[in-house]
Amino acid sequence: MYKSKLLQLLLLLFLFPVSAQLMSVNEESLLNNTILINYISLAKSLNQDIDGLMSKVIKWRHYFHQYPELGNREFRTSKRIEQILTDLGLEVQTEIAYTGLTAYIRGEHPGPLIALRADIDGLPVTEMTNLPYASTEKTTYQGNEVGVMHACGHDGHTAMLLGAAKILSLNNDFDGTVYFIFQPAEEGGGGGLEMCRDGLMHRWGILVCM
Ligand SMILES: [Zn+2]
């Protein structure tokens, strides 16, 4: 079912939540978009797996939300990501640009190398939401004591990428190899550049990163 569908599947995993939102806004015009319809039919065929996965992704998201860390200090976050990827049976490369990680899944068939990336750092913002998983973390930033919060959605990005890793680890009947990149210090810390300087793209011959 997944053969030759790698790109579509990856796009689906990242774009379907967005496309579903758009559908409620302008369903008719989007239904004329055949590419989007492909995503939707693919989503239906994967629904069973995705439904089972959703509660895990939400749980992971809540964990990362509750324990945010600033750029280049994502030690706890990095450990948790490593643990989840290891539990999926993946080989994990750690400490890339200090706290970055990568892992990969080879499909059963030869094909392109594609990388999916999430950022993992939080912001020096004090959370005032009263959510059960609200952050109460504090740290020192530019000489001041500040709260720390995932106020930019990196908790969601990280959990979604772990979800993609999980679903692809269960369904590797696809063409090619997928790399999962967990990038530290996106918020002005230059973590992406540091990972590239650390040889990230060249080391594995990654041509495209989404
Ligand atoms: Zn951000």
How remote is the CA of residue 69 from the centroid of ligand 1, in Å? Answer: 13
Picking from 172, 181, 9, 183, the residue whose alpha carbon sits closest to that of residue 105 is 172
Output phi, psi for 127, to 5 deg.
Answer: -80, 135
| Ligand 1 center to 150 CA (angstroms) | 8
Q: What is the pTM of this model?
A: 0.79
Total residues belonging to the chain: 210
Q: How far is the CA of 138 from the centre of ligand 1 (A)?
A: 19
Rounded distance from Cα 154 to ligand 1 centre (Å): 6
C-alpha 117 – ligand 1 centre gap (Å): 13
List the chain domain ranges: 6-209
CA of 107 to the centre of ligand 1 (A): 30
AA letter at 18: V
Q: How far, in Å, from the CA of 173 to the mean position of ligand 1?
A: 33
**Cα–Cα separations (whole angstroms), residue 105 to 18, 154, 182, 194, 210:** 25, 22, 15, 23, 16
The structure tokens listed for 124 are 């020096």
Neighbours of ion ligand 1 (CB under 5 A): 152
Per-residue pLDDT of the chain (210 residues; tens, 9 = 90+): 444 455 555 555 554 444 343 333 344 444 444 445 445 655 665 666 777 789 999 999 999 999 999 999 999 999 999 999 999 999 999 999 999 999 999 998 898 888 899 999 999 999 999 999 999 999 999 999 999 999 999 999 999 999 999 988 988 888 889 999 999 999 988 899 999 888 888 877 776 666
Q: CATH: 2.40.50.100, 3.40.50.300, 1.10.260.40, 3.40.630.10. Which one for 6-209?
A: 3.40.630.10
The rounded Å distance from CA 59 to ligand 1 centre is: 20
Ligand 1 centroid to 3 CA: how many Å?
34
Q: How far is the CA of 145 from the centre of ligand 1 (A)?
A: 21
d(CA 72, ligand 1 centre) in Å? 14
pLDDT digits (tens, 9 = 90+) for 144-188: 999 999 999 999 999 999 999 998 898 888 888 999 999 999 998
Rg (CA), the chain: 18
Q: Enumerate long-range contacts of 191-200, CB under 8 Å, 24 or more apart.
A: 191/71, 191/72, 191/97, 191/100, 191/119, 191/121, 192/117, 194/97, 194/98, 194/100, 195/96, 195/97, 195/100, 197/97, 198/96, 198/97, 198/100, 200/96, 200/97, 200/100, 200/102
Alpha-carbon distance of 206 to 204, in angstroms, equals 5
Taking the C-alpha atoms of residue 46 and residue 67, their distance in angstroms, rounded to an integer, is: 31
**Distance from Cα 143 to the centre of ligand 1, integer Å:** 22
Kindly give the distance from the C-alpha atom of residue 184 to the centroid of ligand 1, in angstroms, as a whole number. Answer: 11
Q: Are 147 and 126 in contact (CB under 8 A)?
A: yes
Burial (CB < 10 A; 0-12, 13-18, 19+), residue 152, is middle
Kindly state the helix (H) or strand (E) to which residue 7 belongs, with its residue range.
helix 6-31
Whole-number Å distance, alpha carbon 44 to ligand 1 midpoint, is 31
